Amino acid sequence: MKITAAVVFEKNGPFSVEQVDLTDPRADELLVEVVASGMCATDLHGRDGYFPTMPYPAVFGHEGAGVVRAIGSGVTKFKPGDHIVMSYPWCGECPNCRTQRQSYCLSVRKLKMGGTRADGSTLHSKNGEPVFGAFFQQSSFGTYAIANERFAVKVRKDAPLEILGPLACGGHTGAGAVLNVMKPSPGDSFAVFGVGSVGLSAMMAAKIAGCDPIIAVDVHEHRLALARELGATHTFNHTGRTDIVAEIRKLTGHGVRFSLETSALPAVLREAIEALMPAGTCVLLGSARAGTEASFEMPFLQRGRTVRGVVQGDSVPETFIPQLVDYVVAGKFPLDRLITFYDLADINRAAAEQASGATIKPVLRMPH
């Protein structure tokens, strides 16, 4: 079928809104009318050629929310009319997938950023030529998408569908790092370094868990103001300061039980580690480019501190995303406060305003 989608024709090129052809759903696939799609830094990394496996032209987008319009012959879990969000793919067969560690799937690069379905076929074409993407096995920057039923998650119909897409990546990445990995008890201290969409999602989850204090560090005053509205008990503007760790120690006595690093800057990771109390845990979410190195003093780990990376919030989307949707509906996870809507036609402005930090979470509304 003919759809409208944002195509990137070459590495570092702009998004171009085009008519393209979308293939029909296979036996295990869904045709999804995309209502809206979040935009995540990973989409811009794709546009800019960070993934050597990704051919061009390509359609990106991996935080899609929409309505199932048709199902393949073997689909049993979904029917037309279902509201869904599309989450990240995994192979289901590797040692990590077999042991509920699917966000660390050993084939994940190929499935997320290989440009095609697992068998090498493309989802889109134009004038008979292949258009790549199959980004996270969805490519949600278009009016319709093909989703594999294994990675789609049904959501309740009374939830505001057009804001739910970001739960599929940034939202569960932040919230999952707290609720699935840290698992804080009420009263545990928490500090987040960088309050973009992932950091704010984590902070909202820390509030749900009852963390206190909740400390937010960023360089943008408007983000820190929002962090305070969403539950930060203390905020620090990092701009021009070198005493952030000292301030956190002064506030907490021994440092924090949990810290979260979202900036991908080595100096900030070091601060997030040094802010920990003994036996505290620092989770690294920031996505640094290959070759980036960080340092900290080895004795720091001898006092039981843990530093670990987390992907996709250790989330099993089928259960975790509906849990987050319940929090959204209950008003405990006010995702709408992070979102700025753009029409698909304005995708390049959305990308620029995400990159500058002016917009925390762009969500593209699809023309229908």
Are 160 and 151 within 8 A, CB to CB? no
Q: Which is nearer to Zn ion, 42 or 359 (CB)?
A: 42
Q: Quick check: 97 binds Zn ion (CB under 5 A)?
A: yes
Among the listed residues 30, 39, 75, 169, the single contact to Zn ion using CB under 5 A? 169
Cα angle at 126 between 366 and 147, to 5 degrees?
50
For 213, the 3-state DSSP assignment is coil
Sole window of 13-21, 37-45, 302-310, 331-339 interacting with Zn ion (rule: CB under 5 A): 37-45
Among the listed residues 105, 147, 203, 230, the single contact to Zn ion using CB under 5 A? 105
Among the listed residues 30, 39, 40, 277, the single contact to Zn ion using CB under 5 A? 40
DSSP 237: E
- Residues 48-87, one symbol each (x = binds Zn ion by CB under 5 A, - = not), give ----------------------------------------
Sole window of 28-36, 88-96, 179-187, 196-204 interacting with Zn ion (rule: CB under 5 A): 88-96
Q: Quick check: 7 binds Zn ion (CB under 5 A)?
A: no
Among the listed residues 70, 94, 118, 251, the single contact to Zn ion using CB under 5 A? 94
Q: Which is nearer to Zn ion, 236 or 320 (CB)?
A: 320
Label residues 54-81 b or e (16+ Cβ within 10 Å = b): bebbbbbbbbbbbbbebbbeebeebeee
Distance CA 297, CA 339 (A): 38
Burial class (CB in 10 A: 0-12, 13-18, 19+), 342: buried
Cβ 198 to Zn ion shortest distance, Å: 9
Q: Which is nearer to Zn ion, 90 or 327 (CB)?
A: 90
Q: What is the dihedral of CA 145, 345, 166, 63, to 10 degrees?
A: 30
Cβ 242 to Zn ion shortest distance, Å: 31
Strand-pair partners of 129: 126
Tokens of 52: 């050597």
Sole window of 93-101, 112-120, 157-165, 284-292 interacting with Zn ion (rule: CB under 5 A): 93-101
- Residues 177-216, one symbol each (x = binds Zn ion by CB under 5 A, - = not), give ----------------------------------------
Tokens of 243: 């005493």
Distance CA 38, CA 17 (A): 16
Q: Quick check: 167 binds Zn ion (CB under 5 A)?
A: no
* Positions 295 through 324 that interact with Zn ion (CB under 5 A): none
Q: How far is CA 5 from CA 1, 365, 368, in A?
A: 12, 12, 12
Cβ 173 to Zn ion shortest distance, Å: 7
For 74, the 3-state DSSP assignment is coil
Cβ 42 to Zn ion shortest distance, Å: 4
Distance CA 209, CA 184 (A): 6
Binding site residues, Zn ion, CB under 5 A: 40, 42, 90-91, 94, 97, 105, 169
